[in-house]
Amino acid sequence: MTNQLNAIERLAEVKQERMQKNLKARYAKEKRFQVYGIMSICLGMAFLAMLLGTIFYGGASSFMTSEIKLTINYDPDVIGVTDLTDEDELKWADWRGLLSTSLAERFPEVSGRSAVRQRNALVSSIAEYSLRDRLLANPEKLGTSEEIWIVADDEIDAVMKGQVDRTVPESERRITDLQLSLIDSLEAEGEIRQKFNTTFFTAGDSREPEQAGIRGAMIGSFYTLLVTLLLSFPIGVAAAIYLEEFAPQNRLTEVIEVNINNLAAVPSIVFGLLGLAVFINVFHLPRSAPVVGGLVLTLMTLPTIIISSRSAIKAVPPSIREAALGLGASKMQMVMHHVLPLAMPGMLTGTIIGMAQALGETAPLLMIGMVAFIADIPGGPLDPATVLPVQVYLWSDLPERAFVAKTSGAIMVLLGFLAIMNLLAVYLRKKFEKTW
Amino acid sequence: MTSSSLFLLLIIIVAAVFVLGRKRSVDVAQSVGGIRYLHSLPNYYGLLAAAWAAIPGVILLALWSAFQDVIIQNSVFSLLPESYQALSGSRLDLVWAEIYNLQKGIITEASDPAFYPAVEALNNLMTTSTTGRTVLVIALTVLGGVWGWRLIKPEQRARNQFEKVVEALLLASSMIAILTTVGIVFSVVFESIRFFHKVPFTEFVFGIKWSPQIAINAEVAGSSGAFGAIPLFVGTLMIAGIALLVAVPVGLMTAVYLVEYASSRVRSIIKPLLEVLAGIPTVVYGFFAALTMAPKLKGFFEGIGVNGVSSESALAAGLVMGIMIIPFVSSLADDVINAVPRSLRDGSYGLGATKSETVKQVIFPAALPGIVSGVLLAASRAIGETMIVVMAAGLAANLTANPLEAVTTVTVQIATLLVGDQEFDSAKTLAAFALGLMLFFVTLMLNVIALAVVKRFREQYD
Amino acid sequence: MTTNTNDELAQIFEGWSSTVGKPTLKDNARMTTRGVDVFYGEKQAIFGVDLDIGKNEVLAMIGPSGCGKSTFLRTLNRMNDTIDICRVKGDIHLDGDNIYDKKMDVVNLRARVGMVFQKPNPFPKSIYDNVAYGPRIHGLVTRKAELDEIVETALQKASIWNEVKDRLDQPATGLSGGQQQRLCIARTIAVSPEVILMDEPCSALDPIATARIEELIAELSENFTIAIVTHSMQQAARVSSRTAYFHLGRLVEVGATDKIFTAPEHRLTEDYITGRFG
């Protein structure tokens, strides 16, 4: 027996010496490995900080807008309208003239066609329509004049936000020296100001950055999520109840389960193809409508809701089921009266998380036409609409600098909603967390 | 009657049936000596009768609403002259819109007098359909309600029968998952078959030139377009590859650090932050990739003297996609590393191994199946991701191995081919469905394999 | 517990001073522990244990479950370090080196004090790689032939060589439970430790496999110092030369095995070995 031990006995003699020789290198490796781990985490966190930083830094300015104080004289001669109820006259009204006249009075020194054009470009190119709406709402103002704040053009806004480098030669700027001097004189008189951008939250989409808002997209997202919630929550919970409590162990059940697991990982754009081919081409539902978006997102979020609802049901202890059954309740009564109420917080948490996913989803909605430019605010789930993430996508493609800020601003709003939903889910989980 | 008011009326009828059914059960109970002698509680009799009323009516209403447009449209088109019936999908849609608007009175003059008979027919059909629907649905509901009401007897097992109905509804809800899969398969397969009639399968799978846009205009000579999808596959694989090169090591090391090294306090800070990273919508990543990452990379590479860097590079899209997938990989890896039993770690530490030696030589081999399955799932995600590549990778179908050039991917092409005007018989539109079929098939395979692998892994340690 | 109420125990442990018998050895001690306290968070699990383990002896530690015998064993090669909330106080020396000293390297310590666990835990590798694991990570061999020889010797010493010599490259998880546990012993002795700690090594095994491990322990004691925790008194009686009895975190009595089992001095020890509780 003992001679067998030779190798190990010999080892015992050299062991310490050999180990000590390696020890330093091994600890260095250990340190390095640990550093890799820390670096990995830092990389993720640094990226998160960079992403949020970029967006918040770039988006903050979209919540402010610039306005110019002008004296507007609602002169019937300028507008060319004497009767505000006459549709034919209104068709030919020169609302733009109101602004240019007013600007001409403010800056009488500006002359020459090019200079006048630059001067007129100080205010938003569609500010005239707000003047029109204002006058139509208050017809008695015709012929009077008032001082009001008019939304400035986005390039002027950029100057006010200090985003324009004045040292750059004029030819390389989108804003001219003349305009800069006009802004300076306005600023000196306190006739240009920055204020909270309410338009951003009250207006629909627009080609002009200073007039574009996210209200249309927010309402579109709301209707889309409403449809999704109304369909996916009951169906998801029902499916989860069936699979956990009633499904027999057979092939059909197996097929359903495999399907749910696989659907959870199908790329979202494929659901868009489904929506296009089935809901729009076969059932002729309206394109670009939140109802179709809601249907597509329902199919997408169902697996999430079913899976989390099932684990919520699983977490209800068998003792409660046995107690109910022992009192003579039928299986359905046991489920509806005892299991479902206890599993409800978990199901709600899962549903909120599913809704948050749906809120951030973009790709499938592109397929069903929710990318159209829609300036009107949708009035119902059948009206053409877009949603917040698609609005982000649309704006990110536009060249104007102001739209870059708007995109970031829209992202901030989107992230805000997502944060609220997730915090709600966390709160629900914490509040109803039970250990049986 | 509009759909919504009809639906409201249905609800009222069903509610009435419930009340009447409940009352009848109480009445019939009197004859046998009180409700004690009923098989079930009165409510169940009411509910069962209401179910008899509601289910047939609702099904009819749903089917009718789903198919009436298609049927009406087809019969209206059959009245149009031959030349219109031969039109392609989107033009036919325009014709349909015109007829529809004429019928509504939104426009008053037709571009072609041949439309007037069609408008007339549409008018008649819509009136007939709406009336027919209202009458039939209400009749069916009332009949069902009467039938259910008449069935009520003391010995009727109302509760059991109603519970069967509910169970059937629950089953129907879970069947939606199967229906969805079937829907996906049908929607991509049918259009793909039509596509492969126009473009040979081999050309699609092995062709190296992709330029579907030319195909829009049939008048231009030699305008069949090119539908060789190899540049798309290569682009997809390159971007997904870059993403995995970032996500797998980083995600894995993140999980290892969190499970094996980090204190519970660090874990409780980092894990929610990773969830934040996972919860950010992909369109935000796309925005970041296109507007921040791509210019920075371009600047960096030009700074070190590399020229010809595209402003929409595969690298920018891949890197950002990789970051997006990190939390996904790390949470999957976290699960499998945690599933490796403690006894294996003890065995290794007991022999004097350091933590990193234990991780590399014991935990990784033990968790390998789980990690492989996680990588497969991550790959499936990367391949199917759309927004980042749409916004940051570009449209040019370059067949290149250089990650600094613009490439395009399968998902980008699906999105761009289907956004905007569609003609459902042009190869261009159908190509999107063929690409969708490929995408669905590949990601499905990856998932099936991944789930099978991870199932075996779980069985090993449970 | 049938004979001792908690009050009685409290009385017995009130002003706990010393262990009955001879916990310390004059010479020949390989490991010594003095005044060892172990805490899990706020809770104290081990109270002032003094105990020596002699060269080439088999020391058995017995006691009712939850008495801290496994915890104590795990302090001997600092396996408790892997549990965050665990703190150890007192002195533990191995051949005169304080193992909780800052300068003591835990990797080195565990190469000197090996451990065999309750459940066989072969790595998901081949049989050969399992045994070669220790020598490889510590860099103990310079040539393949040397490693082959060590693996063979360790497997022979663990009496499993004949069963596995033809399938060294097959996964160790394919072995039976008893074979796996002998493989784990081979894995431990392949790094030539001075002390082998065994934490209920047979609790997951059938009686035949248990008997083989017990024989093996006897053979190994020729070359190694062994401390074994067991829940089976018979096993302690069969394999050990000295036995220590633990109760509620205290070392109650130590002595030669035959003396402990025939003439225990402390009442608790007597109650335990006569089966009044346990």
Cα–Cα dist C110/C97, whole Å = 13
Instruction: Please indicate, yes or no, if residue B209 is contained in any of the structural domains.
Output: no
Where residue C1 falls among pLDDT bands split at 50, 70, 90?
A: very low
Is B181 within a domain?
no
Q: What CATH number is attached to the domain comprising B284? A: 1.10.3720.10
Q: Is the pLDDT of residue B219 over 60?
A: no
Question: Which segment, A170-179, B237-246, C95-104, C220-229, is predicted with the most confidence on average?
Answer: B237-246
Q: What is the pLDDT of residue B214?
A: 53
Total domains, chain B:
2
Write the pLDDT tens digit of every residue in B79-88.
Answer: 777 777 766 6
Contact (CB<8Å) A269/B414: yes
pLDDT at C3 over 60: no
Does B371 fall in a domain? Answer: yes
Residue C114: closest CA among C240, C227, C214: C227
Span A147-169, mean pLDDT?
A: 85
- The last residue of one of the domains, among B97, B122, B156, is B156
For the stretch A183-231, pLDDT in tens is 888 888 888 888 888 888 888 888 888 888 899 999 999 999 999 999 9
Which residue in B has a C-alpha nearest to residue C173's C-alpha?
B460
Give the pLDDT band (50/70/90) at residue B114.
confident
Q: What is the pLDDT of residue C13?
A: 66
Average pLDDT over residues B51-71: 85
Interface of C with A in 237-256 (CB under 8 A): none
pLDDT of residue B215: 45
Report pLDDT for C17. Answer: 61
pLDDT class for C56, splitting at 50, 70, 90? confident
Instruction: Spell out which chain C residues touch chain B, with contact meaning CB-CB distance below 8 angstroms.
Output: 77, 79, 82, 84, 106-111, 114-117, 119, 121-125, 133-134, 137-138, 184, 187-188, 191
**Cβ-proximal residues to C62 (8 Å cutoff; 6+ apart), any chain:** C69, C229, C230, C231, C233, C236, C243, C244, C245, C246, C272
Q: B85 — alpha (psi -120 to 50), left (phi > 0) or beta?
A: alpha
Neighbours of chain B (3+ CB pairs under 8 A): A, C
Are B380 and B239 part of one and the same domain? yes
Same domain, B122 and B250: no
* pLDDT tens digits, C12-54: 666 566 777 777 777 788 899 998 999 998 888 998 889 999 9
* End-to-end Cα distance, chain B: 60
φ, ψ at A65 (rounded to 5°): -140, 160
Q: Where are the domains of chain C?
A: 38-123+194-273
For B91, the token pair is 């033009």
In this complex, which of C82, C108, C184 lies closest to B352 when CB atoms are compared?
C108
Q: What is the mean pLDDT of residues A348-363?
A: 93
For residue C255, the cross-strand partners are C243
- Locate the chain C residue with the closest alpha carbon to B357: C137
| Residue-wise pLDDT tens digits, A41-96 | 999 999 999 999 999 988 888 888 888 988 888 888 888 877 777 777 777 788 88
The stretch C78-86 carries a mean pLDDT of: 86
Per residue in A278-290, pLDDT tens? 888 888 788 889 9
Residue B368: closest C-alpha in chain C: C124
pLDDT at A2: 45
What average pLDDT does chain C have? 88
pLDDT recorded at residue B222: 46
* pLDDT tens for each residue of B274-328: 999 999 999 999 999 998 898 898 888 888 888 777 778 889 999 999 999 999 9
Q: B90: pLDDT confidence band, cut at 50, 70 and 90?
A: low
Q: Which chain A residues contact residue B176 at CB under 8 A?
A: 235, 239, 299, 302
Residues 6 or more apart whose Cβ sits within 8 Å of residue A204 = A212, A213, A215, A216, A374, A375, A376, A377
pLDDT band at B402 (very low <50, low <70, confident <90, very high): confident
Greater confidence (C268 vs B70) lies with C268
Q: How far is C232 from chain B (nearest CA, A)?
A: 22
Contacts (Cβ under 8 Å, ≥6 apart) of A240: A305, A306, A309, A310, A312, A313, A347
Shared domain for B442 and B296, answered yes or no, is: yes
Tokens of A388: 């917040």
- For residue C116, the model assigns a pLDDT of 94
Q: Which of residues 400-419 of A touch B (CB under 8 A)?
A: 404, 407-408, 411, 414-415, 418
Judged against a pLDDT cut of 70, whether residue A130 lies above it is answered with: yes
Q: What pLDDT does A60 receive?
A: 85
Average pLDDT of the segment spanning A114-140:
84
Residue B189 resides in a domain: no
**Bigger pLDDT: B382 vs B37:** B382
What lies within 8 Å, CB to CB, of B195 at 6+ separation is B204, B427, B430, B431, B433, B434
Look at the domain C38-123+194-273 and name its fold: Rossmann fold (3.40.50)
Q: What is the 3-state secondary structure (H, E, C) of chain A?
A: CHHHHHHHHHHHHHHHHHHHHHHHHHHHHHHHHHHHHHHHHHHHHHHHHHHHHHHHHHHHHHHEEEEEEEEEECCHHHHCCCCCCCHHHHHCCCHHHHHHHHHHHHCCCCCCHHHHHHHHCCECCCHHHHHHHHHHHCHHHCCCEEEEEEEECHHHHHHHCCCCCCCCCHHHCCCCHHHHHHHHHHHHHCCEEEEECCHHHHCCCCCCHHHCCCHHHHHHHHHHHHHHHHHHHHHHHHHHHHHHHHCCCCHHHHHHHHHHHHHCCCCHHHHHHHHHHHHHHHCCCCCCCHHHHHHHHHHHHHHHHHHHHHHHHHCCCHHHHHHHHHCCCCHHHHHHHHHHHHHHHHHHHHHHHHHHHHHHCCHHHHHCCCCCCCCCCCCCCCCCCCCHHHHHHHHHCCCCHHHHHHHHHHHHHHHHHHHHHHHHHHHHHHHHCCCC
Whether B344 contacts chain C with CB within 8 A? yes
User: Angle CA(B8)–CA(B11)–CA(B12) in degrees, nearest 5?
Assistant: 90
User: Does residue A1 surpass a pLDDT of 60?
Assistant: no
Residue B133: which domain range?
A: 3-156
- Looking at B100, B124, B156, which one is the last position of a domain? B156
What confidence tens digit (pLDDT) does each residue in B412-445 have? Answer: 999 888 876 666 667 788 889 999 999 999 999 9
- Closest by Cα among A359, A284, A365 to B418: A365
A422 vs A286, higher pLDDT:
A422
Query: What's the pLDDT score for residue A432?
Result: 80
A14 touches chain C (CB under 8 A): yes
A8 interface with C at CB cutoff 8 Å: yes
B138 shares a domain with B273: no
Is A7 in CB contact (< 8 Å) with chain C?
yes
**pLDDT of B250 over the 80 cut:** yes
